[in-house]
Amino acid sequence: MRAFTFERALSVEAAVRTAASNPDTKFIAGGTNLLDLMKLEIETPTHLIDVNGLGLDTIDQTPDGGLRIGALVRNTDLAADDTVRRDYGLLSRALLAGASGQLRNKATTAGNLLQRTRCPYFYDTAQPCNKRSPGSGCSAIGGFSRQHAVVGVSDACIATHPSDMAIAMRALDAVVETVKPDGGRRAIPIAEFHRLPGDTPHNETVLEQGEFITAVVLPPPIGGKHIYRKVRDRASYAFALVSVGAVIQPDGTGRVAVGGVAHKPWRIEAADNALPNGAKASAKELLADARPTEQNKFKVDLVERTLGAVIAEARG
């Protein structure tokens, strides 16, 4: 690990100002991904700002009946919150499907959104990787790609986003609230928050240097059955091969977002509209532009089957 300096943030504004003035600065909260990346020298910040003391760890009702989740709410606390369990069950279930109990105790809401891919080549500094080292190439294309993306891919990167929580938030139309270096505030729909890889897979979100997430806001509850189904190589502590997060209404309409298939939580409006016609029709829309590799083309069928299981569960 490289040497770095460290400070505890006293206010959001001060933390943002410091981070904006030094591009080698990182915010740290739970550190469940960042510290691993620093030990491997994939992330090499020269300065860390500990934001744990900023008090952004509450879950509050919004005036319109939605929920504002502070950026520093731990994954365990969010999953166990009574309102989340009652009104946003999809979010609670997705959180509990992720990582381990110990990691969920440390991991935060904002950090979960910002965690980086688990592509094995990204973590192997002896291998070319455009995300880690722009312009060096992509070892997964033509290499081991069983776990990689099948939609939204580019010739530069086929990595997936690893978060379970983000799949639920995408289906629930969450909005990410931030403070920018100039003090301005933004409300970013989660659909626009994560980027596709394109030619710049190292740019994973639309955040500016120094921009800080303060909260994630959920709209008022929409009812329906909330189901999160994660398919993985072992029963716990593994990332999704495919996951499906859905809210299905009694008449069969609903929303569906898919994980393990793209560089961002994957949701297509046409797939939502096709839900009443069944899993085949909806999955066809979800994966209309799929470009799987020989090793991960099984995911195309797996999405349809997992979605079929979710719809069957919703119908009881």
- Tell me the C-alpha distance between 307 and 294, whole Å: 22
Shortest reach from residue 121's CB to ligand SF4, in Å? 3
Closest CB to ligand SF4 among 74 and 161?
161
Shortest reach from residue 144's CB to ligand SF4, in Å? 10
Closest CB to ligand SF4 among 138 and 171?
138
Shortest reach from residue 158's CB to ligand SF4, in Å? 5
Shortest reach from residue 130's CB to ligand SF4, in Å? 4
HEC string of the chain equals CCCCEEEECCCHHHHHHHHHHCCCEEEECCCCCHHHHHHCCCCCCCEEEECHHHCCCCEEECCCCCEEEECCCEHHHHHHCHHHHHHCHHHHHHHHCCCCHHHHHHCEHHHHHHCCCCCHHHHCCCCCECCCCCCCCECCCCCCCCCCCCCCCCCCCCCCCCCCHHHHHHHCCCEEEEECCCCCEEEEEHHHHECCCCCCCCCCECCCCCCEEEEEEECCCCCCEEEEEEECCCCCCCCCCEEEEEEECCCCCEEEEEECCCCCCECCHHHHHHHHHCHHHHHHHHCCCCCCCCCCCHHHHHHHHHHHHHHHHHHC
Shortest reach from residue 283's CB to ligand SF4, in Å? 23
Closest CB to ligand SF4 among 134 and 223?
134
- Tell me the C-alpha distance between 244 and 261, whole Å: 10
- Tell me the C-alpha distance between 148 and 167, whole Å: 16
Say which residue the tokens 């744990």 belong to: 52
Closest CB to ligand SF4 among 4 and 144?
144
Shortest reach from residue 42's CB to ligand SF4, in Å? 10
Closest CB to ligand SF4 among 87 and 204?
204
Shortest reach from residue 37's CB to ligand SF4, in Å? 12
Closest CB to ligand SF4 among 130 and 178?
130
Question: Given the rule CB under 6 A, which residues bind ligand SF4?
Answer: 117, 119, 121-122, 129-131, 138-140, 148, 157-159, 201
Shortest reach from residue 149's CB to ligand SF4, in Å? 8
- The partner residues of 25 in beta bridges, in order of sequence, read 47
Closest CB to ligand SF4 among 282 and 296?
296
- Backbone dihedral angles phi then psi of residue 7, each to the nearest 5 degrees: -145, 155
Closest CB to ligand SF4 among 109 and 160?
160
